[in-house]
Amino acid sequence: MLKELSEYESATLIQREKGTRELTERTLAVIGYMVTMISISAVIVGVVVGIVFPIVNNIRIAKVWKFKKQTDDLGDRLHSMDKTIRVQAYYAAGIALFSSEQYGKAKRLLSAATDEIPSNSDYYYTRGRCYLELNDNLKALNDGARCIELGKNEANGYILSAISCARLGKKYISRLVKIVKTALSNIESPEWSLFVSDKEVKRLFNFPALKDLKKKLGVD
């Protein structure tokens, strides 16, 4: 025969069953919540992958296409311009890019200007300045030499050439001295004042090879 449970034991058993049932219900509720959240996450991911990503990608493609079209249109307009106006546009854009420290882009536009009108010393001087900023000192020196060919009485070619020689090192010191002496012979005030007032040119007179000229010319 089954042993009859006391009142206390019956109450304890009922309480345990109730606790177990509540725990099971809570566990099932948590599992249900997790399943729901996973389902919602899956739906969100599906929406992002299926709808948002394509939209964002299409917007990006549209922007790239629009920019390319604007660039192509600008190129077409430049090529359809009168040659002089077109080159002036190259030069103006090159100056603007140089001022914003975009030396590579500036150099390309200034090269386009020199290709179309190779007789303008300003184009070579400004491109040479780009080369200096890009540490391509030999090309800067070549542009300086071209400036001097086109305007031997102007300071810019000598400034560019002198700075380039100094940056190229000891092998170019003799050429630096020759450039300064040639500048002294060929350019007059106010071009000479422009030459010696350039900050980097001023520092060149501290070179031992130029100290005698520094005293003679009274360069500060």
Q: Are residues 173 and 194 in the same domain?
A: yes
Q: Are residues 220 and 180 in the same domain?
A: yes
Instruction: Please count the structural domains in the chain.
Output: 2
Q: Are residues 218 and 161 in the same domain?
A: yes
Q: Range of 85's domain? A: 65-118
Q: Are residues 144 and 90 in the same domain?
A: no
Phi-psi region of 159 (alpha: psi -120 to 50; beta: other; left: phi over 0): alpha
The predicted model gives 85-109 an average pLDDT of 95
Q: pLDDT class for 101, splitting at 50, 70, 90?
A: very high
CA–CA distances in Å: residue 183 to residues 67, 127, 142, 167, 196: 47, 21, 16, 18, 10
Q: Are residues 151 and 210 in the same domain?
A: yes
Q: Are residues 135 and 220 in the same domain?
A: yes
Q: Are residues 165 and 189 in the same domain?
A: yes
Evaluate whether residue 36 is within a structural domain: no
Distance of CA 68 to the CA centre of its chain: 19
The pTM assigned to this predicted structure is 0.64
Q: Are residues 136 and 169 in the same domain?
A: yes
**In the predicted model, is pLDDT for residue 128 greater than 90?**
yes
Evaluate whether residue 156 is within a structural domain: yes
Percent of the chain at pLDDT exceeding 90? 53
Structure tokens at 199: 């900050």
Q: Are residues 90 and 175 in the same domain?
A: no
Those residues whose C-beta lies under 8 Å from the C-beta of residue 145, and which sit 6 or more positions away, are 157, 161
Q: Read off the pLDDT of residues 174-220 as tens digits, 9 standing for 90 and up.
A: 999 999 999 999 998 889 899 989 999 999 999 999 988 887 777 77
Q: Are residues 172 and 197 in the same domain?
A: yes
Q: Read off the pLDDT of residues 56-96 as tens digits, 9 standing for 90 and up.
A: 455 556 555 655 555 555 555 656 668 889 999 999 999 99
Evaluate whether residue 98 is within a structural domain: yes
Evaluate whether residue 198 is within a structural domain: yes
Q: Out of 86-90, 124-128, 161-165, pick the least confident.
A: 86-90
